Structure 1
Amino acid sequence: MSRFVRQSYYRHVYGQPSKREMCFDNIKVSASAWDTNLAAANPKFLSVNYQASGGGAFLVVPLTHTGKLPDLYPLCRAHTAPVLDTSFSPFSDTLIASSGEDGKIVLTHIDEDRLTAALRLEKPEVNDLEPVLRLSGHVRKAGHVKWHPVAENVLASTSLEVKIWDVEKAACVVELPQQPDMVGSMSFNWTGTLLATTCKDKKLRIYDLRSGELTSMADSHTGIKGSRVEWMGRLDRICTTGFSKFSDRQVFVWNSGDISKGPIKQLTIDTSSGTLMPFWSDNDILFLAGKGDGNVRYYEYEADELHYLTEYKSSEPQRGMCWLPRRALNTQDCEIARAYKVTNNLVEPISFIVPRKSDSFQADIYPPALSGKPALSSSDFFAGKTAEPILVSLDNLSETAAPPIKSSLYASTPVVPGSGAVSPALPPSEPPAPRSISRAPSPVSTKHDPLPSSSPAIEQPPVSHQPPPSSIVAPSVDAHPEQRSSSSSADVDQLTKENQELKDELAEKDCVIRNLELQLEKFKTNQMKIIELSKNSLN
């Protein structure tokens, strides 16, 4: 054994769980068996896939409100089947995308005032969040959804195929070739020009997003269970997790420039049955959270080696997990990462902390973080332009350049990503002609203009009330303009009043439905207790 210990800033990092009152309690987490994180987080909100009857739903709660949530709380019920995945926009804290078993992709604007009001009321009213846009295009269930890391209003969704959407035009611009089975996981590279996917056919694939072409493919984990993929930040390395043919949990590291040669690093973890969820931190730390157990292992990446740091252990198994963007971390406590652990009805924050006593900013453990500002527009991206993400210093949130990649991270000379400047436009492949809309949802507003119904790829939420044809008057010469103006004003007032009455009636009916759902759950729980007591009495 070596006499020397490898130097590392993160050798003593430990996980600090939150107290019960600082957790999010009374959340009915979805019972779907689909392999997903079940939750997503941004600097302001936490979303959780919700177990709802009569369709699919997810819940959004402000991070500042912890404790037990009320039984009646606003949901987003935009899907007709269970919600499988959610993803917050990296450039708008109030915009969230969701995908579900109904094959739809739904964009929802988060009304923070509505959520806060529901939390403050002693008897909260159900006033569910309303979607602003629905995208249709997947024949089977849409398993995953993820926003582009650099370009604004660019969204990826998966099913048997991967679709790249231009949200500004509400259209699919690039559709990647269909795979033999459901796509199990996807991850963008640093500049968002490449996309890595895993599939149940045990293949790892890398696609060029502008041309839609498959650039490389390789055999991955040989186990029958699903695998996951995570691009390792600015590096040209890819991490995958999966199972061997003997059901050992594995971690592979790949050189994205040539995955056909196989993984450059293989690591066997254990023989547990739960999927390993990989999460990469720009501190060059790889976190591995196992589904079905309460452990989170973390490794430091250097010279194409994964150096084991330590492990966070807990007795409560996790069903899912998500991580807070680094720009929202608490640097005063030397917090380098924060996870949100999802259990059956609770979401528990876990802070990973470097033990230091200094009150000043620790620049050596805080590399620049993603800023939350787009470097490209969607039109620039699809025109062939490339840019690196905009970074900020966690000391004062001022924009800064990315530090050079340390050569010690590689065993051999890496393929260094391009500079931060925007490259000249490249001649892209001819995408399908996008259908334009009158207004882009950036920023998204609940007053989103309705899209033409002629396109089969777009479905709009139902409009609560539309003015009758008689109220739409064609331009003409009117002998009594003052009378017409007063009549139009009266019509508008009447329609506004009717619209508000309909909204109030809908909220009341939602309350009745939610109360019935709660009564049904209590009935089922009591029924299970009766069965257990009967069995015990017979024994």
Structure 2
Amino acid sequence: MSFRRGVVRQSKFRHVFAQAWKAEHCLDDVRVSRVTWDGPLCAANPKFIAVVIEAGGGGAFLVLPLAKSGRVDQNTPTVCGHAAPVLDVQWCPHDDNVIASASEDCTVKGHSKRVGILAWHPSALNILLTAGCDNVLCVWDVGTGELVYQLSDAHPDLIYSVSWNREGSILCTTCKDKALRVREKAHEGTRPMRAVFLADGKILTTGFSRMSERQLALWDTKDLSEPMVTQEMDTSNGVLLPFYDPDTNMVYLCGKGDCTIRYFEVTDESPYVHFLSLYSSKEPQRGAGFLSKRGVDVNKCEIARFYKLHERKVEPISMTVPRKDAPPILVSLSGGYTAPPSKCGTLRGRPKLLTQTNTSPTSTTAPANPMSVEMESEGLSHGQGRRDVDGGIERVKKEEDQLSDILTEIRALRALVLAQGHRIDVLERQLARIEDGEV
């Protein structure tokens, strides 16, 4: 299948864009290694970045804090100890302070020639796989230095790449004999191939066709007789380094010597590997480091980050999903609250305690003190009447206190309703963003 850039399918990652960081945030005066080995020469984790550098009299690499920027002092200590150039560095996925390096000096016990490939086990602690130019695979327990397993007769020629599946139960390799093991010929060209396991168990490979065109292919491990899809890209001779993100199911292809980074989405829909876009710059990359997902800035919608190696500079490049600015979702609160029935009924002010009556049939005017007349007509003493009046006042005060408590509760409930309404608005906006594929 030819590589096409026609109509882009609908995808929540179709608008992912790459942006290089400003110059002041790059690392300058880094003497990137000139070794001809087709490796990334860089590795990054949430704490550090490691870059293979030029070193006189042996091999070395530089380790700097991830937040470091600007000019790197030439007197900055390096990790040295190899007697020949370093070919690969890889951070341990389980401990951000542990790094492994491979070199031409054959210092890894068990190999008779230079060691150029490293792969940490994705789930088992301290298990490291190494591959050398002696066509031998070794599995090590770096905690004890013990050689756990050695595979010496499976590859008749130079091993190009190794990759664990997500569980670490299967290993795939590519070799100069054009074979992908787990098995069959992957790409017909003689140039180096690369392979990575995907989250669903499939394998994505990059390589060259018989006509020296660069290719990518997707393989189903249940049937390796032929690839599910093959895409030709161009005729450049730089090896394509695949970087896979299992969270988004995106694959980034960085060609050594290229000025571009292509990215694709892998799905279950034909043609399975969908081109999304590419990032272009003026200067070619000599290698690239891919930051683990734990290190990206999610507050800026960053889903991936590369560290592009120039001749004397390390340039961060962020892959970002753009935010979609949508109007706020408004919800009417009309009719959303009904006040509970009041125990005080239609209480309005202070009620009358006693009804005024005229006890004298011959009197034409109201007595000066109707209350005392009424109490006397009932045969009540003045003291008893006073106590009744005081009791009535106390009952009124008690009812007023109850009314005040009810009004306070009503105000608190109204405030709660407003707060919950605001929270509902926020959650509905988040739901809308998720449904639109922005998160």
TM-score computed with the length of structure 1 as normaliser: 0.57
Aligned-residue offset at 1:326? 0.6
Where in structure 2 are there 5+ consecutive unaligned residues? Answer: 1-5, 327-439
Aligned-residue offset at 1:222? 1.1
CA displacement 1:354-407 (0-9 Å, x = unmatched):
110569xxxxxxxxxxxxxxxxxxxxxxxxxxxxxxxxxxxxxxxxxxxxxxxx
| 1:49 maps to which of 37, 49, 52 | 52
The correspondence of residues 32-47 of structure 1 with structure 2, limited to 5 A, is 32-47=35-50
Cα separation, 2, equivalents of 1:193 and 1:175: 16
Cα separation, 2, equivalents of 1:315 and 1:4: 27
Cα separation, 1, equivalents of 2:220 and 2:23: 42
Q: Which residue of 1 aligns with 2:302?
A: 335
Aligned-residue offset at 1:5? 6.2
Q: Which residue of 2 aligns with 1:201?
A: 177
CA displacement 1:91-147 (0-9 Å, x = unmatched):
111111001001124xxxxxxxxxxxxxxxxxxxxxxxxxxxxxx110000011121
Q: Which residue of 1 aligns with 2:101?
A: 98
Cα separation, 2, equivalents of 1:93 and 1:149: 14
Aligned-residue offset at 1:257? 2.5
Cα separation, 2, equivalents of 1:314 and 1:65: 23
| RMSD of aligned alpha carbons | 1.7
| 2:158 maps to which of 174, 182, 185 | 182
* 8 A Cα contact 2:8 2:275, kept in partner: no
| 2:189 maps to which of 206, 210, 223 | 223
CA displacement 1:161-208 (0-9 Å, x = unmatched):
1100012221111112332222111110010011111111111113xx
State yes or no: 1:309 paired with 2:281: no
| 1:241 alignment partner AA | T
Q: Which residue of 1 aligns with 2:261?
A: 296
| 1:41 alignment partner AA | A
Cα separation, 2, equivalents of 1:242 and 1:357: 37
| 1:139 alignment partner AA | S
| 1:221 alignment partner AA | H
Q: Which residue of 1 aligns with 2:233?
A: 269
State yes or no: 1:237 paired with 2:202: yes
State yes or no: 1:253 paired with 2:218: yes
**Secondary structure, counterpart of 1:85 in structure 2:** strand
* 8 A Cα contact 1:48 1:58, kept in partner: yes
Q: Which residue of 2 aligns with 1:26?
A: 29
* 8 A Cα contact 1:198 1:229, kept in partner: yes
The correspondence of residues 271-286 of structure 1 with structure 2, limited to 5 A, is 271-282=235-246, 283-286=248-251
**Secondary structure, counterpart of 2:184 in structure 1:** strand
CA displacement 1:66-87 (0-9 Å, x = unmatched):
1110011101112111000001
The correspondence of residues 320-331 of structure 1 with structure 2, limited to 5 A, is 320-331=287-298
Cα separation, 1, equivalents of 2:93 and 2:8: 38
Cα separation, 1, equivalents of 2:88 and 2:167: 23
* 8 A Cα contact 1:84 1:98, kept in partner: yes
| 1:180 alignment partner AA | P
Identity, in percent, stands at: 43
**Secondary structure, counterpart of 2:308 in structure 1:** strand
* 8 A Cα contact 1:13 1:353, kept in partner: yes
Q: Which has the larger radius of gyration?
A: 2
Where in structure 1 are there 5+ consecutive unaligned residues? Answer: 106-135, 207-216, 360-539
Aligned-residue offset at 1:316? 0.6
Paired residues, number: 316
Cα separation, 1, equivalents of 2:8 and 2:228: 24
CA displacement 1:441-462 (0-9 Å, x = unmatched):
xxxxxxxxxxxxxxxxxxxxxx
Counterparts in 2 of 1:313 and 1:167: CA distance versus 1, 3 Å:
same
* 8 A Cα contact 2:176 2:192, kept in partner: yes
State yes or no: 1:141 paired with 2:114: yes
* 8 A Cα contact 2:179 2:186, kept in partner: yes
**Secondary structure, counterpart of 1:31 in structure 2:** coil
* 8 A Cα contact 2:62 2:77, kept in partner: yes
Cα separation, 1, equivalents of 2:115 and 2:60: 14
Counterparts in 2 of 1:180 and 1:67: CA distance versus 1, 3 Å:
same
Cα separation, 1, equivalents of 2:195 and 2:312: 27
Runs (4+) off by over 6 Å: none
**Secondary structure, counterpart of 1:241 in structure 2:** strand
CA displacement 1:332-362 (0-9 Å, x = unmatched):
1111110111111111100000110569xxx
Q: Which residue of 2 aligns with 1:464?
A: none
The correspondence of residues 483-502 of structure 1 with structure 2, limited to 5 A, is none
| 2:235 alignment partner AA | T
* 8 A Cα contact 1:338 1:350, kept in partner: yes
Q: Which residue of 2 aligns with 1:133?
A: none
| 1:152 maps to which of 125, 149, 158 | 125
**Secondary structure, counterpart of 1:9 in structure 2:** coil
* 8 A Cα contact 1:243 1:249, kept in partner: yes
Cα separation, 1, equivalents of 2:7 and 2:105: 56
Counterparts in 2 of 1:230 and 1:4: CA distance versus 1, 3 Å:
closer
Q: Which residue of 2 aligns with 1:372?
A: none
Cα separation, 2, equivalents of 1:320 and 1:28: 13
Cα separation, 2, equivalents of 1:323 and 1:162: 24
* 8 A Cα contact 1:228 1:242, kept in partner: yes
* 8 A Cα contact 1:143 1:183, kept in partner: no
Q: Which residue of 1 aligns with 2:355?
A: none
Q: Which residue of 2 aligns with 1:534?
A: none
| 1:296 alignment partner AA | I
Cα separation, 2, equivalents of 1:289 and 1:170: 33
Cα separation, 2, equivalents of 1:139 and 1:240: 28
Q: Which residue of 2 aligns with 1:467?
A: none
